[in-house]
Amino acid sequence: MKITGVKTYVLQGMIEDQSFGWSQRVTRTRQSVLCEVSTDEKITGVGEAFYFGGPAKIAANIISDVYGPLLMDKDPLDTSVIWDSLYNWTRDQGMKGVTISALSAIDIALWDIKGKAQGLPIFKLLGGAYRHKARAYATGLYEPQNVPNVIEALVNEAVGYKEEGFSGMKLKVGYGIDKDVSYVKAIRQAIGEEICLMVDANHAYNSSEAIQLAQKLERFDVYWFEEPVPPEDLEGYCEVRKKSNILIAGGECEYTRYGFRNLINLRAVDILQPDLCAAGGFTEIMKIVAMASAANIPLIPHVWGTNVGLAASLQLFANLPHFPERRFPAEPFFEYDRSAHPFREEVTLEKFVMKNGYLDIPERPGLGINLNLKFVEKHAL
């Protein structure tokens, strides 16, 4: 089989009155970068590049202008060989960030082709399913804009997730320690003790502030504290982790086995959170999973984006081993973004529905999805 074409789609939609904020900024738009790789055997694969913050078209340009020409006539089943050659092509100036997100999208599309060519879901190609459904936690509880009472709005949203059947949810913090504590306190009171509550500062603090916050949040039984400090501050992560009784999570801003090597070797986090659509796609994340398992550090993937990224992450999630294996293993949580998004579900023909707190993991070939080309082509920039 040979690769005959690479196409990208940059999608953008406004969320207007549902705009939301977190510790870094407020957003009114959502963007996504999808890529489609076609072959001479009429099998096409689809992938998504993690996007947040910069113009999405940068990732699309890297896919189409830099990697696209290098992929022509290559056998799409040679995923490792292709990954290494593309990475090496941009290595000098592209070891992290948007370059690796672009590479991730291509790698995911190649695995989709590989699965479709063999008639198997990707998790089978990775070695099988440790689970066939994913226990979802709700990512939401951003700072709502233009509401009379933020705490009241957050509490209503949290109670809504509980009523929908979520057994866990994640709240944004990083607005200042007192404000953070007041949000956590109100939500914990409203949802009761049974539901897992996580907090995410999106690297808003230095290590001493993060330690202060972690200690104040202990009495509210917070399950993990995500991105307490900036991703470059690995020593800060270690300081926070030593002085926090709440688990420390991070990794959505880290890339490839080389980046995760540092997080793992320093034991900077209790939970690693690589994003499949950012850290390097299936080929690379399996290496990160192997390193994490050798260090016995649990890995709970970061998930963000459209149904394409979601479908890919579900395939990975099926194949995530337990760290460590035991008779009654802890069940990992799957990140299920519930924040406002104008086209998250529209880009695929297949829909994902949570039932009793779980998402089914598709058993169809490849990623188990088909792009809704009519919608995607109509809304692409």
Residues that bind Ca ion (CB under 5 A): 200
Taking the complex as a whole, how short is the minimal distance between the CB of residue 23 and Ca ion, in angstroms? 10
DSSP secondary structure of 119-175: T-BHHHHHT--S-SEEEEEEE---EESS-S-HHHHHHHHHHHHHHHT-SEEEEE--S
Q: Which is nearer to Ca ion, 23 or 39 (CB)?
A: 23
- The burial of 89, by beta-carbon neighbours within 10 Å (0-12 exposed, 13-18 middle, 19 or more buried), is given as middle
Smallest distance from Ca ion to CB 250, Å: 8
Who's near 332: CB < 8 A, 6+ residues apart? Answer: 135, 298, 300, 317, 320
Nearer to Ca ion, 200 or 239 (CB): 200
Please name the residue that has the structure tokens 């599309």.
109
What CA–CA distances, in Å, run from 373 to 36, 342, 378?
11, 16, 8
302 in active site:
yes
Residue 109 and residue 45 in contact, taking contact as beta carbons nearer than 8 Å = yes
Which residue in 132, 302, 322, 341 is the catalytic one? 302
Q: What does the block give as tokens for 169?
A: 């949810």
Distance CA 81, CA 77 (A): 9
> Distance between CA atoms of 336 and 314, rounded to whole angstroms?
10
252 or 346, CB closer to Ca ion? 252
Closest CA to 161 of 338, 342, 374: 338
CB atoms within 10 A of CB 290: 12
What is the distance between the alpha carbons of residues 46 and 113, in angstroms, rounded to a whole number?
8
DSSP reduced 3-state for 247? strand
Which is closer to Ca ion, CB of 188 or CB of 203? Answer: 203
Q: How far is the CB of 252 from Ca ion (least distance, A)?
A: 5
Q: Which is nearer to Ca ion, 200 or 346 (CB)?
A: 200
Q: By C-beta, is 46 or 173 nearer to Ca ion?
A: 173
Closest CB 98 distance from Ca ion, rounded Å: 17
15 three-class SS: coil
Dihedral over Cα of 12, 17, 21, 26: its sign: positive
Residue with smaller CB distance to Ca ion, 45 or 274: 274
Pick from 113, 88, 92: which is nearest to 36 by CA? 113
Nearest-approach distance from CB 170 to Ca ion, in angstroms: 8
Q: Tell me the three state secondary structure of residue 18.
A: helix
Instruction: Tell me how far, at minimum, the Cβ of 305 lies from Ca ion, in Å.
Output: 13
Q: Which is nearer to Ca ion, 76 or 301 (CB)?
A: 301
Least CB distance to Ca ion at residue 304 (A): 8
- CA dist 135 and 333 (Å) reads 5
Name the residue with the smallest CB distance to Ca ion. 200
To the nearest whole angstrom, how small is the minimum distance from the Cβ of residue 202 to Ca ion?
A: 6
- Which positions are catalytic? 302
